[in-house]
Amino acid sequence: MTQPAVDGAKDWSAIDRAVYVHSSTNLQQHLVDGPMVLTRGEGVRVFDGDGKAYIEAMSGLWCAGLGFSEKRLADAAYKQMTTLPYYHNFQGKTADVTIELAERLVALAPKPLTKIMFASSGSEANDTAIKLVWYYNNARGKPAKKKIISREQAYHGVTIAAGSLTRLKAIYDGFDLPIDRIRHVGCPHHYKLAQDGESEEQFATRLADELDAKIREEGPDTVAAFIAEPIMGAGGVIVPPATYFEKIQRVLKTHDVLLICDEVITGFGRIGTMFGAEKFGIAPDIMTLGKQMTSAYAPMSAILMRESIFESIAAESGKRGTFGHGYTYSGHPVSAAVALETLRIYEERDILGHVNRITPTFQSLLESYSNHPLVGEVRGEGLLAAVQLVQSKSPKKFFDTTAGLAKYLVARGHEHGVILRVLQNDAVAFAPPLISTEDDLKQIADLFGRALDDTLKVARERGLVN
């Protein structure tokens, strides 16, 4: 979207096109379209240079849970910056505030997780999880047990290792990914992938059997871990079929394969429980966190592990002389102070209770579009959802990937003043801020509905639907 000068002095659009390389963007097309420049935020809304308001139905990238103007987080950052703005955690050092956060997060996390490390992004957290698993299996005398199994349509980040766990075409193409030692099994999307008449439970059994067969085929002595988002986010907001995690965990136990639970999106109340692990009965060996941990006001991620993993890696580091891993910004005190304040706000304002109170409104507002000619499925949990566009409901037919209808819908959404996101296979994602009111959700649904009708009109004009 091209925009004129923002403040009368600078033409941000021209400068952007001249110098700035964007993420996840068609860079060539961007030179024509120019950026969408946001200049300010207030509550669940962001504003562009012309003062146009957009309701942020994606919390940015599923992360700004407390919206865009939480002063307490700014104050917490300022206070920390004027007390101890930086310290690292190498060679046994750290800031007091980081220890406080570590204690708080371990207390919040699912029971078996007792130790924590920090990084700055979800990708770094998942890279770290892979390194932990490798170090751990070297430590316990299983040097061949190194493969990590992920799933089709998973999203675990974009760094070389985490990007290999991700299984989306755009993340691989042109980047020579995935690296070796990474394998993938099926995506648990019942609506799209179940066979005719197959129940959720039967589908889950088939996927667990597939995982079991994959581990046997690779050799259990070579498979170290399985990684999963409780609900897949960027791959389509895929809610697992009933009994899926129960069956998957049984298979993993049989083969002594660790479970890494990627809660970068699902952590901190997004789906109505503190973590997705609670919702789906997952007992992770390692868990990664990010995004809503600081409500995205400062970059920070975390990796939690079981005591037994810590004991092995601690003993190994004793033998080797050091645990040779960590980043300059691991446990950054400003991010830690912001995270602590975020957690205090979640608790004081009972954000979890709020999410659960507004979830039925949110899900039923979206559900009300399920009779729309373009909508095949509405799926989600808590304040996380996707609307699946289809060319035909019966027989079920998805649009050709080149039709670009969800992309068009999201662009129309921008025109109407709502920020949504296109996912794989013409799904449209929703992850509104956790502080959204029922009125905010109604506005999101209403503006989405207008964009959906615009899209139907175009689909008809192009002869794609009747």
Ligand X SMILES: Cc1ncc(COP(=O)(O)O)c(C=O)c1O
Interatomic CA distance for residues 382 and 293, integer angstroms = 17
157 forms part of the interface with ligand X (CB under 6 A)? yes
Shortest distance, position 71 Cβ to ligand X, whole Å: 24
70 near ligand X (CB under 6 A): no
Using rule CB under 6 A, residue 61 touches ligand X: yes
Which CB atom, from 155 or from 203, has the smaller least distance to ligand X? 155
By CB under 6 A, tell whether 122 contacts ligand X. Answer: yes
Binding-site size for ligand X (CB under 6 A) equals: 15
For residues 420 and 58, the answer to whether their CB atoms sit within 8 Å is yes
Least Å distance, CB 266 to ligand X, is 8
The smaller minimum CB distance to ligand X, of residues 185 and 265, is found at 265
Q: How far is CA 213 from CA 248, 249, 275, 346, in A?
A: 12, 14, 29, 42
**Cβ at position 17, least distance to ligand X in Å:** 24
- Cβ closer to ligand X: 236 or 376? 236
Residue whose CB is less far from ligand X, 62 or 134: 62
Q: Which is nearer to ligand X, 271 or 456 (CB)?
A: 271
Encoded amino acid at 458, one letter: V
Minimum separation from the CB atom of position 228 to ligand X (A): 10
Applying CB under 6 A, does 381 fall inside the site for ligand X? no
Asked whether position 294 contacts ligand X by CB under 6 A, the answer is: no
Report yes or no: 163 and 171 within 8 Å, Cβ to Cβ: yes
Cα(145)–Cα(147) distance, rounded to whole angstroms?
6
Helix (H, G, I), strand (E, B) or coil at 123: helix
Beta carbon nearer to ligand X, 212 or 229: 229
Tokens matching residue 340: 């602590």
248 burial via Cβ count (<10 Å: 0-12, 13-18, 19+): buried
Q: Is residue 216 a contact partner of residue 176, using CB atoms and an 8 Å limit?
A: no
Q: How far is the CB of 56 from ligand X (least distance, A)?
A: 15
Q: How far is the CB of 40 from ligand X (least distance, A)?
A: 23
Q: Which stretch binds ligand X (CB under 6 A): 67-75, 120-128, 186-194, 236-244?
A: 120-128
Contacts of 103 (CB under 8 A, 6+ apart): none
160 binds ligand X (CB under 6 A): no
Q: Does position 233 bind ligand X by CB under 6 A?
A: yes
Sheet strand arrangement including 113-119: 113-119, 301-306, 286-289, 258-262, 223-228, 147-151, 182-185
Q: Where are the strands (E) in 307-389, listed by range?
A: 375-381, 384-389
* 155 is a contact residue toward ligand X (CB under 6 A): yes
Instruction: Report how far residue 47's alpha carbon sits from residue 92's, in angstroms, rounded to the nearest whole number.
Output: 44
According to DSSP, the residues that pair with 301 across neighbouring strands are 119
* Beta carbon nearer to ligand X, 135 or 155: 155
Residue 330 touching ligand X (CB under 6 A): no
CB atoms within 10 A of CB 349: 13
* Nearest residue (CB) to ligand X, 146 versus 421: 421
Q: Could you say whether residue 418 binds ligand X (CB under 6 A)?
A: no
Within positions 239 to 268, which residues make up the interface with ligand X, using CB under 6 A?
262, 264-265
Task: Please tell me the total number of residues recorded for the chain in this structure.
Answer: 466
Q: Could you give the CA distance from residue 364 to residue 366 in angstroms, rounded to a whole number?
A: 5
Residues that bind ligand X (CB under 6 A): 61, 121-123, 126, 155-157, 229, 233-234, 262, 264-265, 290
